[in-house]
Amino acid sequence: MREPTSSPANPLHVAVGVIVDAEQRVLVSRRHAHSHQGKLWEFPGGKLEAGEPVQAGLEREFREELGLQLHRYFPVKKILYQYPEKTVLLDVWQITEYSGTATGLEGQAVQWRSITALDQADFPPADVSIIRLLKLPREIAITPVLDNESQLTGLIADYVALQVQVIQLRQHQLDPATYRQWFELASDICTSQGVTLIFNNDPKIFATLEKQAAFHASSARLMQLNARPVAEDLLFSVSCHNQHELLHAEALNADFAFLSPVKPTDKYLPGHCLNWAGFEELAGQVSLPVYALGGMIRSDIDTACQHGAMGIAGIRCFLP
């Protein structure tokens, strides 16, 4: 049967599901030789039928192609990609609960492949953004208030020992010029250790950095932006507290958002927090990776992921 025609204004809508197991392996299947982008590996899913809701299409594809029954899943990204011959909109969902054993019911090969071993060359070009999403860490550290550069270098060493892969340098007590000095020092150390450092300060200072860097926008800065402030190959994160901010972050194509406060902290008392139910409700309203922030401890990771989070972020939970 011929595929329906597509264009940038009317793309072929495809539901895609991502399942990651406890060993940080992701489920992939191989496209048939006669298919578009044939013989390449892909993240399972398929095109929606006319008038079919995305969730229904996702469940149908996993049931018919893999024999899996989906129970809990959350939107994480929409990817519009234009091939020479057609345009696709990948509607990507993170699947956190399912039953059954993955089997190629349509004769396709099926594998659980380590996320760290994913090779972009093995996948269609439209799937490259999904690989990048999968390689986001499950933990992100945010620095506490520090007194001097010596404390900063010591803290980075502690983070490295904890195998933290991404650090946000949050030092609001510093003037912009001093912050830049600290950031460039920390950036050199992080680069040598294979750690990503995220800039969180005045965008004007960010523009003067000698090296390209990841950028974080507070909720206030987020709402002042009308375009993504960094290139697509650099991380762009934001802080959000409500649906309005999350939707704006999604519109700016942020790579991920911190959503807080989930649990009580010194700043946010009980009764003024989202709790896990509130977090899940808000995270499920946007196609955007969301990290749980506020009162987190490292053992919250699995709970956070079950409620639609990409992982957790925090200050105290990573301190020695």
Identify the CATH number of the domain in which residue 314 sits.
3.20.20.70
Task: Count Cα neighbours of 22 within 13 Å in the Cβ-side half-sphere.
Answer: 1
Instruction: Identify the pLDDT of residue 35.
Output: 79
198 with 313, same domain? Answer: yes
Question: What amino acid occupies position 96?
Answer: T
> Do 129 and 159 belong together in one domain?
no
Which residues partner with 81 through β-bridges?
88
pLDDT (tens, 9 = 90+) of the chain, 320 residues, equals 345 555 667 899 999 999 999 999 999 999 988 877 778 999 999 999 999 999 999 999 999 999 999 999 999 999 999 998 889 999 999 999 999 999 999 999 999 999 999 999 999 999 999 999 999 999 999 999 999 999 999 999 999 999 999 999 999 999 999 999 999 999 999 999 999 999 999 999 999 998 999 999 999 999 999 999 999 889 999 999 999 999 999 999 999 999 999 998 877 777 789 999 999 999 999 999 999 999 999 999 999 999 999 999 999 999 87
271: in domain: yes
Q: Which of 187, 182, 146, 138 is nearest to 164 (CA)?
A: 138
- Which of 101, 134, 167 is the endpoint of a domain? 134
Q: Are 294 and 261 in contact (CB under 8 A)?
A: yes
Task: Give the domain-ending residue among 134, 150, 183.
Answer: 134
7 part of a folded domain = no
120 and 264 part of one domain: no
Residue 5 lies in a domain: no
Count structural domains, the chain. 2
Q: 3-class SS at 245?
A: helix
User: Under a CB-based contact definition with an 8 Å cutoff, are residues 186 and 197 in contact?
Assistant: yes
Contact 137, 165 (CB under 8 A): yes
The single residue listed with the structure tokens 């989202």 is 274
Range(s) of the domain holding residue 22: 12-134
Is 111 in the same domain as 244? no
Q: Does some domain include residue 58? A: yes
Same domain, 187 and 306: yes
Total-model pTM = 0.89
CA distances from 201 to 19, 121, 188, 252 (A): 35, 36, 18, 19
Domain end: 105, 134, 163, which one? 134
Q: Are residues 229 and 278 in the same domain?
A: yes
96 and 115 inside one domain: yes
